Amino acid sequence: MTDITQQNCRVLHQTNRPSLQSPLKILSVLVVSLLLTHSCKGQSQLIGSSQPIVATVGDDVILPCHLEPAMDVAAMTLEWTRSDLDSICVHVQRAHQDFIQTIHPSYRGRTSLFTDELKQGNISLKLSKVKLSDEGKYKCNIPTLNKQSSVELFVGAASSPVISLAGVDRDRGGVMLQCESKGWYPQPEVFWLDSEGNLLSAGPTETVRGPDDLYTVSSRVTVEKRHNNNFTCRVQQNNINQIRETHIIVPDDFFKVQSSSSPAIIGLAVSLAVCILFISFFFVQILKQNKTKRNQMYKTERGENENLSKSDDVEMQPLAQKRKKTKHVGHKQAECDLFKELLQLHEDNQRTMEDLLTLKKDLETKEKELEKMKAFKLWGPSKKEQQLKKEQAEKDVQTLKDQLKSKEEKFDTTTKKIKDKQTEIKKL
C-alpha cells in the first residue's frame, strides 16, 4: 500500500487527466485494470536494487526498477518518489505523458524514463546532472498493480589533485611537493606513493569544508633523489568508489639544482665580497703608486739626477706590480661574473620547472575531458556542437603537448649551460 503523501502525489496528476467522454470508456478501463490486477497480482514482482547506487556530482545516473516477469506497463501510471523527503514527486507518467506540474521543482527537466523499454516492464529512472541534494531513498511505484520497490542513492563529489613545488628541504637535500584537491564529498583520504607503489611518509592532511559542503584537502611530502623520481598523489573516497591520481616526475638535475642552491648563494656572496676587497685594494695601490710617482717627478724637477735614476726603478716596479695585480683582479672579476651567470641559470631552470608542472597538470585535465567526450555518444540536435567541442579539445591537447616539449627542451638546454659554467669555474 502506498502512504498518504504518495496518494496525494497521485491525486495531483489525476486532476490533470483528460476526461473520458462516455461511460463505455470508463467501464472498459476498469475492466482492463481489474483483469491486469487479477492476472498479475501475486505473480509479477517490482525489483529495484538491493545495493545502493553511487553517483558523483554532475554525472547522470540510472535508478533501476523493473517488473519480473516482464510485462507492458506503457499505458499504466508510473511514479517515482523520495520516501525520505515526505515522498515528494520525482517523476510521474501516465499513458506516455509526463505530468511535469506534479514534479518537485528541483527535479524538473532532470528525470526521464526509457520509453522504448516500458513494454518490457523496465521503469528505471534516469536522473541527469546529479546534485548533492539528490542523495536519499527513492521508490518506484505502479499503483495499478499495487507494486512498489525502493532504490537508495549515494551522491559524492570528486576532482583530480594538483601537485606543485612547495620548497626545498636544505637539511635533507630534498624537494617538498604539495598536493591539493578541491570539491570532494564525503571527505576523502590523501596518499603519496613512489614509482613502485609504496606509501611515502607525508605530513598530516589539511581539510577545509566550504559553504557548498564540499571538502578541500591538501598534503605535503619531502622526496629525495631516487633511481626513478616518479611520485604520485592519490586522493580516494571508498564510500563512493572514487579515486583520483596525479603523477609528477622530478628530473635528477633538479635535485642537484635545489640541493646546491643554498651553497651556491653563499659561495656567490663570499665571492662578491672577495671581489670588492680585491678591487678596493687595487685602487688603494693605484693611489699609492700615483703619490710615489708625483714625489719622483717633484725630485726630478729639483735636479736630483741621482735620485732620478732610482725613481725610474721605483716607478717601473709599481708598474710591474700593477700589471700583475690587474691580471689577478681581472681573474677574480671573471670568476664573479661566472657565479652571477650560474645563479641566473639556476633561477631560470627553477622557473622552467614550475612551468613544466603547470603544463603537465593542464594537459592531464584536458586529456581527461577529451576521454569523456570520446566516450560520450553523439546524438540529437547538439551533435554538431559536441563534435566541434571535441575537435577543439583535441587541438588544446596538442597545443599543450607542444608547449610541454618546448619547455623540456629549454630545461635541458639550461641544464647543459649550468654544467658548462660549473666547468669554467673549476678551471678558474
Tens-digit pLDDT profile for residues 340-397: 676 677 677 667 777 877 777 788 788 877 777 776 655 555 567 777 888 888 888 8
Q: Is this prediction's pTM over 0.85? A: no
Q: Measure the CA–CA gap between 321 and 324, rounded to whole angstroms.
A: 5
The pLDDT, as a whole number, for residue 16 is 45
Length of the chain in terms of residues written:
428
- Residue of higher predicted confidence among 135 and 1: 135
The domain total for the chain is 3
Q: Are residues 244 and 261 in the same domain?
A: no
Least confident of 130-144, 157-171, 283-297, 302-316: 302-316
pLDDT of 239 strictly over 50: yes
Contacting residues for 280 by C-beta, under 8 A, at least 6 apart: none
User: For 69-128, how does the pLDDT look when each residue is reduced to its tens digit (9 = 90+)?
Assistant: 999 999 999 999 998 888 889 999 987 888 888 899 999 999 999 999 999 999 999 999
Q: Which of 122-131, 194-203, 268-277 has the highest mean pLDDT?
A: 122-131
Cβ contact 148:227 at 8 Å:
no
- Residue 241 falls in which region: left (phi positive, over 0), alpha (psi -120 to 50) or beta: left
Q: Are residues 8 and 63 in the same domain?
A: yes
Q: Are residues 269 and 416 in the same domain?
A: yes
pLDDT of 159 strictly over 60: yes
Q: Are residues 240 and 277 in the same domain?
A: no
Q: Are residues 277 and 243 in the same domain?
A: no
The pLDDT, as a whole number, for residue 317 is 52
The beta strand positions in 120-261, using DSSP E, are 125-127, 136-142, 147-156, 162-169, 174-184, 189-193, 206-209, 215-223, 230-237, 242-249
Q: Are residues 182 and 300 in the same domain?
A: no
User: For 30-80, how does the pLDDT look when each residue is reduced to its tens digit (9 = 90+)?
Assistant: 544 555 444 444 578 999 999 999 999 999 999 999 999 999 999 999 999
**Pick from 171, 178, 143, 136: which is nearest to 73 by CA?**
143
Average per-residue pLDDT for the chain: 76
Q: Measure the CA–CA gap between 343 and 336, rounded to whole angstroms.
A: 11
The pLDDT, as a whole number, for residue 6 is 47
Choose one of 229, 250, 271: the last residue of a domain.
250
Q: Are residues 122 and 189 in the same domain?
A: no
Least confident of 30-39, 161-170, 201-210, 241-250: 30-39
Q: Are residues 136 and 82 in the same domain?
A: yes
223: domain CATH number is 2.60.40.10
pLDDT band, very low/low/confident/very high, at 264 (cuts 50, 70, 90): very low
Q: Are residues 419 and 288 in the same domain?
A: yes
Beta partners for residue 175, in sequence order = 168, 223
The pLDDT, as a whole number, for residue 163 is 92
Q: Are residues 213 and 309 in the same domain?
A: no
β-strand 147-156 against 53-56: which pairing, if any? Answer: parallel
Choose one of 96, 124, 155: the last residue of a domain.
155
Domain containing residue 135: 4-155
The pLDDT, as a whole number, for residue 394 is 87
- Residue of higher predicted confidence among 291 and 138: 138
Q: Are residues 270 and 414 in the same domain?
A: yes
Choose one of 155, 186, 209: the last residue of a domain.
155
Q: Are residues 129 and 178 in the same domain?
A: no
Q: Measure the CA–CA gap between 307 and 152, rounded to whole angstroms.
A: 114
Q: Residue 34 to residues 31, 38, 367: CA-CA distances in angstroms?
A: 5, 6, 57
Q: Measure the CA–CA gap between 87 and 73, rounded to whole angstroms.
A: 22
- Residue of higher predicted confidence among 20 and 148: 148
The pLDDT, as a whole number, for residue 414 is 80
